[in-house]
Amino acid sequence: MSVPGDWYLVLAAVLFGIGAAGLVVRRNILVMYMCIELMLNAVNLTFVTFSRMLDDLGGQDAVFFVLVVAAAEVVVGLGIIVAIYRRRAGATADDVNSLKG
Amino acid sequence: MNLFAATGLAVASAWAVYGVGAALILAGAAAVVGLRNPVHCALGLVSTIFGTALLFIDQGAYFLAAVQVIVYAGAIVILFLFVIMLLGVDKKEPRSAGTFASLGPVAAGLGIVAVVELLVLARVHYWATGAKSTTAALSGPGADVQKLGQSIFTGYLLPFEMTSALLVIAVVAAVALVRRGSGAPPQAPPKKAPATLRPPAKAPEAPAPGRAGAEPAGEKTRVAG
C-alpha cells in the first residue's frame, strides 16, 4: 500500500521549481550548485515514481546513471569554483563576467 | 471489521510516510534557497536528500535509497562543506535579489497557480499513460538489488562502462583544474608560510572587503620570475 503516484510527481515538480528559482535568485556560486542538486533530486524522484507506476525497471536504471553523472558534475564544478575563488576571493556569480561582450 | 481497521491503518501509515518525506524535502529545499549561510544551505540539502531516500524506500527502490544517502549525503554534501571551509566563504550573503527583486510577487503568484493546476490535473487525469512493462518488470521475482544489477550489467553494460570513463575523466579534470602551475618543479621551501595572504601585484577591481588580496602567493611569484 502506498500513496498514489500523482502526489509524488507533484512533490517532485514543486521541488524542481524551488531549485530552479533558487538558481536564479541566489548569487553565491556554491549555493547555486546546491540548487542544481535539488533539481537533480526532483528528477530522480520522478524517475522512481514512474518506475513504480509503470512497473518498469528502466526508471531505476536511469536514476543510477543520474547519480554517477551528478557525482562527476559536482567534482568538476567544485574544481572550477575553487579555481575562481583563487583568482578573486569572495566572488559571486555577478563578478565572473570576464567573457561578457 | 477487523480487516477494515487494518486497511485503514495501512492507508494512514502510507500517507504518514509520504507526509514525513514531503516535509523533509520541502523544508530542506526552502532552507537551501532561503538561508544566507552556505553551511546552513548544505544542511538543508542533507534534509532534502534524506527525504528523497525515504520516498525511494516507500516506492521499493531500496538500493537507490542507500546509494542516495551514501553518495549524496556522504560524499557530495561533504565535498560542498569541504570547499566552503577551504575557501572560507561561510559568511552571510548580502540579501539582495538583484535584477529579479521586482519580479518576486509575480513569480510567487505564478508558482502557486502552477501547483494548483498540477493538483487539479492529478485528480482529473492520468499521469502515466504508457503501457506497463512486460520485459523488465519491477514486480518480477528476485530482490530489488538483484534485478537492478542484472539490468545494468546486461542491458546497460555500455552506458555503465561509459560512466566509468566519465568518472576517470572527472578525476583528471579536477586535478588539472585545482593544480597550481603546470609541470613546474615544486617550489623551494618557502620563507613564509605557503598560503600567506599577500596583496596581489595588480589590485583587482572592487576587492571584497576583508578578504582583499587572498591570492595564493605561489602563482604570482612564479609568474613574476
Helices (H), chain B: 2-34, 38-58, 62-67, 77-87, 104-124, 144-154, 157-178, 217-224
Residue of B nearest to A82 (CA): B178
CATH of the domain at B21: 1.20.120.1200
Shared domain for B20 and B85, answered yes or no, is: yes
| Confidence at residue B217, expressed as pLDDT on a 0 to 100 scale | 45
Report if residue B198 sits inside a domain: no
Residue A84 in this model has a pLDDT that exceeds 70? yes
Contacts of A89 in chain B (CB under 8 A): 87, 207-208, 211-215
Report if residue B207 sits inside a domain: no
DSSP letter (8 states) at residue B71: I
User: B131: Cβ–Cβ under 8 A, 6 or more apart, which residues?
Assistant: A54
CB burial of A4-35 (b: ≥16 within 10 Å; e: otherwise) equals ebbbbbbbbbbbbbbbbbbbebbbbbbbbbbb
Is A51 in the B-facing interface, judged by CB distances under 8 Å? yes
Shared domain for B78 and B145, answered yes or no, is: no
Residue A87 in this model has a pLDDT that exceeds 70? yes
Give me the CATH topology for the region A5-87.
Helix Hairpins (1.10.287)
* Separation CA B151–CA A60 (nearest Å): 10
Which regions in chain B score pLDDT beneath 70? 1-6, 90, 92-101, 125-129, 135-136, 181-225
How many domains does one find in chain B? Answer: 2
Q: How far is A46 from chain B (nearest CA, A)?
A: 10
Which CA distances in Å does A53 have to A19, A43, B16, B181? 25, 15, 20, 53
Is there a contact between A8 and B166 if contact means CB atoms under 8 Å apart?
no
Which CA distances in Å does B33 have to A97, B47, B59? 23, 13, 27
Span A59-85, mean pLDDT?
91
Tell me how crowded residue B148 is: count the other CB atoms within 10 A of its CB.
24
| Confidence at residue B212, expressed as pLDDT on a 0 to 100 scale | 44
Note the pTM of the prediction, 2 decimals. Answer: 0.79
Q: How far is B145 from chain A (nearest CA, A)?
A: 10
Is there a contact between B133 and A55 if contact means CB atoms under 8 Å apart?
yes
What's the complex ipTM?
A: 0.92
Is there a contact between B79 and A74 if contact means CB atoms under 8 Å apart?
yes
B47, three cell numbers:
534534509
| Confidence at residue B172, expressed as pLDDT on a 0 to 100 scale | 93
For residue B158, what are the domain limits?
141-179
- The per-residue pLDDT for range A13-71, each reduced to its tens digit, is 999 999 998 888 888 889 999 999 999 999 999 999 999 988 888 899 999 999 999 99
Collapsed DSSP state (helix, strand, coil) of residue B215: strand
* Separation CA B127–CA B117 (nearest Å): 13
Is A66 in the B-facing interface, judged by CB distances under 8 Å? no
